[in-house]
Amino acid sequence: MDGSGEEFMKYRSPLVSRYASKEMAYNFSDKNKFSTWRQLWIYLAEAQKELGLPITDAQLSEMKAHWDDIDFGVAAVEEKKLRHDVMAHVHTFAHCCPTAAPIIHLGATSCYVGDNTDLIMLRDGFDILLPKLARVIDRLAKFAEEYAELPTLGFTHYQPAQLTTVGKRACLWLQDLVMDMRNLQRARDDLRFRGVKGTTGTQASFLQLFDGDHEKVEELDRKVTEKAGFKKSYLVTGQTYSRKVDIDTLCVLASLGATVHKICTDIRLLANQKEIEEPFEKEQIGSSAMPYKRNPMRAERCCSLARHLMALVSDPLQTAAVQWLERTLDDSANRHYYEISDIILSTLQNITEGLVVYPKVIERHIRYELPFMATENIIMAMVKAGGNRQDCHEKIRVLSQQAAAVVKQEGGDNDLIDRVKADPYFTPILGQLDALLDPKTFIGRAPQQVHY
């Protein structure tokens, strides 16, 4: 940054300037894009030479010596003049490779570099995301193990329900993330290379270069595909690879967004209950007006970005739907979805590494609700002691409504157990009440499920 402040006079996407990792920002940078174009031109020339076209070692050496020294100023001038980005960079490359100039982009169409580079970036984007997702899963698994046996209120319809454990709840999050890991890996492995297919996908230009030799054209496709690090290329293409590839890619990332949104929403709800908090730095300010606040801003950021990521799915769907015949040029892909996924995972890793649990608050909430949840256990104990199930149910129903009235109308504590103890009808089981109200008897197999 210079001191002039000029960079602050134009819009900068916070996805890159504030949040995206260096590796993801570079993956979709102009430098990486255009140097990959040059690398693809080298792969093409190498393969063409290997298959007998008159390309010299000197030409290849010259191209390899200059694949990374892109003069973006020259490229901008060329593009303004030619109104064609690929040809602008062909000319720019040729300026520094005069010997190789005649064979750069030989037989290729713009999508040879454009689409193949996009596929490389998609693949490499997955390679950046997958280890980050694995780290989130690892951190969350350790959290689940640590709190596998800590009872906490479960919720259905956001109303207190049967108890679970803090660790078991984290396993609900984990299971979804593991599904996302499977989906991302599958989508990454399903990616193929566009390969060397020519202007409308017929390979006509390459068939002409090799004097009608179909086997050499097929071998050219295989060689360039392997050089680019792919095992397979798409069997058929138009001018572009099928835009359904972009749908498949974004759908798995949007699905990850839905998972992260659910996790971070849960954390935000629990933060309101003061049961769990995301990391909060020593000098962090929660509110400019309310000094006591500890807002879950990381979880909120994840939710905001995840919502945007999920909303992007319609973009590639519409694009794939309107690719007329062999292609149209209204298919510029929005690559922000990788950057968003990258930011979400980095932030979620930070959250999972520093989640704070407040067992005493959780215990207080359990004590508040547990008497109502224990009513069925009390009825069963009374029946075992010789009582009548219907009589006991009516007794408990009346006492429960009285206790609920104290809570809802008077703002008092749940005194149901005190009412049970004061009623002579329940004398036969008074010695069992502590055991009947032990939270660990309400969590079922939650701890065992964490340790699967």
Q: Mind telling me the catalytic residues? A: 157, 287
Joined together, the tokens standing for residue 106 give: 């030989």
User: What's the N-to-C CA distance of the chain in angstroms?
Assistant: 51
**String of b and e for 400-425 (b: at least 16 CB within 10 Å)?**
beebeeebeeeeeebbbbebbeeeee
Angstrom distance (rounded) from CA 152 to CA 368 = 12
Give the DSSP H/E element, type plus range, for residue 154: strand 151-156
Please answer whether residues 316 and 243 qualify as being in contact, where contact means their C-beta atoms are separated by less than 8 angstroms: yes
Question: At 163, is the secondary structure helix, strand, or coil?
Answer: strand
Helix axes 85-96, 110-146, angle to 10 degrees: 100
- Give the closest residue to 319 by CA, choosing from 250, 252, 246, 251: 246
Question: At 80, is the secondary structure helix, strand, or coil?
Answer: helix
Tokens 């006991």, residue?
392
Helix axes 110-146, 244-272, angle to 10 degrees: 30
Joined together, the tokens standing for residue 337 give: 């979805």
Helices and strands in the chain: count of H runs, count of E runs: 20, 4
Helix axes 336-354, 297-311, angle to 10 degrees: 150
Please answer whether residues 358 and 275 qualify as being in contact, where contact means their C-beta atoms are separated by less than 8 angstroms: yes
Instruction: Write the single-letter amino acid at 62.
Output: E
Angstrom distance (rounded) from CA 43 to CA 85 = 20
- Give the closest residue to 170 by CA, choosing from 257, 263, 240, 60: 263
The beta strands (E) that lie in 231-362 are given as: 276-277, 356-357
Please answer whether residues 108 and 206 qualify as being in contact, where contact means their C-beta atoms are separated by less than 8 angstroms: no
Give the DSSP H/E element, type plus range, for residue 390: helix 389-410
Q: How many C-beta atoms surround the C-beta of residue 65 within 10 A?
A: 12
Angstrom distance (rounded) from CA 379 to CA 400 = 13
